[in-house]
Amino acid sequence: MARETKAQRHERMREQYIRLIELYPVAQCSLHHRNEWELLVATVMSAQTTDERVNSVTPELFDRYPDAQALAQAQLWDVENIIRPVGFYHMKALHIIELSQALVERFDGVVPHTMDELTTLPGVGRKTANVVLGDAFHLPGFPVDTHVKRVTSRLRWHTQWRKTNPDPVEIEKQVTAEFPPEWWADVSHRLIFFGRNICHARNPECEVCPLASTCPAAPQFLAQKAEKEARKKYAAQRKALKGQRESLR
């Protein structure tokens, strides 16, 4: 693509986001929760696993430990046994018990609603805090997970796209500058859905992607896929020809 001006990039981002809205009309967190505390705990457990796995363990966890006061007094081994399917269960169990203890000791068991306060809790980083701000409190929050990093890099929504591991804080800063604060959480959700369903880390489905015509990365991926298919076809033809030759002997 030719070098864009900031105004051109802004216009392209808005156009691409409109297509994401059409693709995913409903934008909401896929972690099951009934209140801000459950969302906080579920989000901490969602690191390096799927939301489906987290949703498979939270009913039992929250039935046994319905609030911060209860989980703060839990035995580590018991929580580990419940959340084992989510992976890294020892560290995650430790974090959710310790953050519950911190909530009880410092916030009377109530989840705070500022970035500065949330990130003082054990196991809570900026991404988790943004999830809670945006989905529990409906405040400006733009979570940057692995899908958001990948998709926004391929779409060139920020200047970090050349980096192998772009800075999530810089991505958040640059992307949120292009959208109203009340949109931030929904923008993140739609980017995540898009990354999960179409713009995969490996083999993105550019041939069916509604953003492909305006995506800077699509031509390269389409060319790679075409070359791969051509090689497979050539190999199949050689194999068939070899079989024909052997049958004539």
Q: Which residues are documented as binding site for [4Fe-4S] cluster?
A: 199, 206, 209, 215
Q: Give the whole-angstrom CA distance, residue 33 versus residue 46.
A: 13
Q: Report the C-alpha gap between 164 and 153 in whole angstroms.
A: 10
Q: Which of 127, 135, 149, 186 is catalytic?
A: 127
Between the CA of residue 147 and those of 87, 92, 95, 125, 166, what are the distances in Å? 19, 21, 24, 17, 12
Q: Which of 135, 145, 149, 186 is catalytic?
A: 145
Per the CB < 8 A criterion, the answer to whether 134 and 141 are in contact is: yes
Is 108 assigned a catalytic role?
A: no
- Residue 237 tokens read as 């033809």
Is 86 within 8 Å of 50 (Cβ atoms)?
no
Q: Quote the CA–CA distance of 177 and 171 in Å, as a whole number.
A: 10
Give me the residue label for tokens 């305006």: 214
Residue numbers in the known binding site are 199, 206, 209, 215
Helix residue ranges per DSSP H, the chain: 6-23, 36-45, 51-64, 68-72, 76-83, 89-107, 115-118, 126-131, 146-154, 168-176, 184-197, 218-247
Q: Is 127 tagged catalytic?
A: yes
List residues with catalytic annotation.
Answer: 127, 145
